[in-house]
Amino acid sequence: MLATLLVLFCRITLGLVFSISAISKIFKMQPFVKAVVNFEILPNRLARFAAYLFVIGEFLTAILLGMGCLTIGFSLVSLLLLVFSSALVVALWRKMRISCNCFGPTQTIISVYDLWRNGGFVICAIVGLIALERSSTQQDLIIWDVMLVTFSAVIFVTIWTNLNDIAWLLQQSNQNKQ
Write out the E strands in 21-165.
none
Residue ranges per structural domain of the chain? 2-177
pLDDT for 140: 73
Q: Residue 28: phi, psi to the nearest 5?
A: -135, 65
Secondary structure (DSSP) of 156-174: HHHHHTTHHHHHHHHHHHH
This prediction has a pTM of 0.90
The DSSP output letter for 103 is T
pLDDT for 135: 82
Q: What is the pLDDT of residues 128-159, one digit of tens each?
A: 999 999 887 656 778 999 999 999 999 999 99
Residues of the chain with pLDDT under 70: 137-139
Q: What is the pLDDT of residues 93-111, one digit of tens each?
A: 999 999 988 888 888 899 9
pLDDT for 21: 95
